[in-house]
Structure 1
C-alpha cells in the first residue's frame, strides 16, 4: 500500500478488480438494503403460523381416529374378559400377557397375546362374534425383544391373572379396552385402560398380590 499523502489530506491506494465472490456479496447487501425492514420478521411469523396450523390439523386427525376407535368399542358385543377367555381356551394352561382393542380394521377385534411355557401366541378375536380371525402366530421367548421377554417371564411369578385385573372396571366405572403386565423398575403391575361413560380414558394400575386370595391395590388416572 502506498504511503499516505498527508499534504493533500487523502489516503490513496491502488484499486484491485473485484472477485466474483465480492460482487455477489455487494449484490446481496444491496438487495437486503432495498428490502422492507418487515420482510424477514413477516416470513418467520408466516412459518410459525404454518407450523401451528399443521400441529392443529394433526391433533384433529388424531382425535377423529380416537373417536372412531371408541365408537367401534361401544358397539362391540364381546367384553375384554370374554376375549381373553376365548384366547386362553385355545391352548390349555395359557395365560394372557397383553390384550388391546383394534377398531381400525374392517371388523373390530381384540388382539390377545397368551403365554405358555416358552411360547407366545397372538390371536385376533372378533369383537362382535367372538370368532378367531385369521391364523394365530406363535413365537418363542428367545425370539422376543428383551423388554417383552422379561415381561412374559415375569408373568410366571405373578399369582393373579390378567383376567382378574378387570376389577379396574369397577375402580374407574367403565369398560376395559386394553391391559398388559408391565415391569416398572423391577416392580410388576397390571396396567388396564378403561373407557368411562363420558368417553374418557382412564389408566388403572393394579399391584398384583403374590398369592391368590389377597386383594390388589389400585390407583388410576385420566389419559
Structure 2
C-alpha cells in the first residue's frame, strides 16, 4: 500500500510527546511500486485523491469514534476510498470490547448499520498483548498522529499498533508532498 517509506532513523526530542523517552523510527524506499502493476498504482492514486478531498480529517474521525463510546480509545484507523461513500474504518476499545465503525469522510457521520463489537478475549494472543501494553502508555493514537503529521509534514491517512520484537509502536502512515511515509513512534511507558 505504501508508495514510499522513510529511510533515516530519527529520535525525537522531548517535544515529541513531552517526554525524552518517546522515540520515532521512519523508513523510506523511493518508488516502492516501480515496475509493479500500473492498475494497482492507479487505484492507490485514486484513493489518495479521495483522501486529499475528504472534508473530515483522520483526527476528526478519531474524535467522532471516541464520542460514540465515552471513555474509549482508538486503536486502529484507516481511510477507505473504495467504499461508497469514502469512509474511515475505525476500531476503538471500550472496556473489554473492540468497536468497529465506519465514519463518512465527507460528513463525519457514523454509517448506520456499519458497526460491530468484538470481544477482546476472542482476539489473537499478539493482538491481546498489544492492547494490554496500550494500557501501560500515557499517549493515545491521536497523540501519535499529531507527532507523525508534524515530523513528516503531511496529513495522516492511517494509524494503528504494531509489535516489533516485543516493543509496542504506534504506526502512522502520512501523505506528504514526497509521497506516503510510515512513521513508527514508541511511546514511553507509565512507571
Q: Shorter-chain TM-score: which interval?
A: 0.7 to 0.9
* Structure number with higher strand proportion: 2
- Stretches of structure 2 that go unaligned for 5 or more consecutive residues are 1-33
Q: Where does 1:142-153 land on structure 2 (aligned, <5 Å)?
A: 142-153=121-132
- Residue in 1 that maps onto 2:171: 191
Deviation at 1:211, TM superposition (A): 4.2
Higher relative contact order (Cα pairs below 8 Å, separated by 6+ residues): 2
- Residue 145 (structure 1) shift: 2.2
Residues 90-144 of structure 1: CA deviation (Å, up to 9, x unaligned): 1111001100000001111001100022110001000110000133100101112
Worse overlay, 134-143 or 67-76 = 134-143
Contact 1:175 1:194 in 2 (8 A): yes
CA distance in 2, matches of 1:84, 1:142: 24
Contact preservation (8 Å) 2:158, 2:172: yes
Distance 2:63 2:78 in 1: 14
State the match for 1:20 in structure 2. none
TM-score, structure 2 as length reference: 0.77
Distance, in Å, in 1 between the alignment partners of 2:61 and 2:69 is 14
Alignment partners' CA distance in 2, 1:190 and 1:107: 27
1:100 aligns with 2:82: no
| SS of alignment partner, residue 158 of structure 2 | strand
- List per-residue Cα deviations over 1:68-105 (Å, max 9, x = no partner): 11011011011111100000011111001100000001
Give, in angstroms, the shift of residue 154 of structure 1: 1.9
The TM-score normalised by the length of structure 1 is 0.66
**Corresponding residue for 1:215?**
none
1:134 equivalent in structure 2 = 112
8 Å CA contact 1:86–1:130 kept in 2: the answer is: yes
Q: Does 1:122 align with 2:100?
A: yes
Higher helix proportion: 1
Which residue does 2:5 correspond to in 1? none
Q: Where does residue 91 of structure 1 map in the other structure? A: 69
Q: Note the alpha carbon deviations across 1:150-177, whole angstroms, 9 max, x for none.
A: 2222211111010001110011110000
CA positional deviation for 1:182:
1.2
Q: Does residue 157 in structure 1 map to residue 136 in structure 2?
A: yes
Q: Which runs of 5+ in 1 are unaligned?
A: 1-55, 213-223
